[in-house]
Amino acid sequence: MTLHSLVGFVAGFPMRNDGVEPAGKELAEFVHAHLAKAGFATSAPANREDWAWEMYTRDGKLTNETIVGRVDDMTSTPPRQWLITNDCPRNVSRWLFRKAEFLVEREKFLRRFCEAIDQAMKADSRFSHISWYDPETFDKPGDVASDRP
């Protein structure tokens, strides 16, 4: 089954962008708190070049980069006010010499990680239009959203 690690949604969090910090700080803090509650060791949200928030989560030799940002694409179907991307980049030496093992570990980690975010969002009435996407096909012709990671 395909892993969908990008999630677009509409959520009742402040949309402000005060020129000092990007919009979404409260949303990033929500994600961070729920990841910690699920047992993940995640860095505190940090300003990502004034356009989004980033967090890093380590699991053994794997590191996941999470970016939380406002996209305000309310005309898309379904609408996407916010987007959270999750990516666990390849470690070159592990990719070259232990590719199959790396891919299994990566998928297992990302699936558990994305499911924790999905459960937190679906349990909170501020979220709607939650749609998960495959990063390989996201926003390309034929892209089909899923209701789960």
Which CATH number covers residue 80?
3.30.160
**20 in any annotated domain:** no
Asked if 27 and 117 touch (Cβ cutoff 8 Å), the reply is no
Query: In this model, does residue 58 exceed pLDDT 70?
Result: yes
85 belongs to a structural domain: yes
pLDDT tens-place string over residues 101-138: 888 888 999 999 999 999 999 999 999 999 999 999 99
72 within 8 A of 119, measured Cβ to Cβ: no
Rounded CA separation 81/78 (Å): 10
- Say if 110 falls within a structural domain: yes
Q: What pLDDT shows up at residue 91?
A: 66
Angle between helices 99-122 and 25-37 (to 10 degrees): 110
The answer as to whether 41 is a domain residue is yes
Residue 71 placed within a domain:
yes
Q: How many domains does the chain have?
A: 1
Tens digit of pLDDT for each residue in 13-34? 887 766 778 999 999 999 999 9
**Structural domain span for residue 89:** 6-13+25-133
pTM over 0.85: yes
- Contacts of residue 70, defined as CB under 8 A and 6 or more positions apart, other chains included, come to 15, 17, 22, 23, 24, 52, 81, 82, 83
Q: What is the reported pLDDT for 52? A: 95
In a domain, 18, yes or no: no
Is there a domain that residue 142 lies in?
Answer: no
Query: What is the per-residue pLDDT for 48?
Result: 95
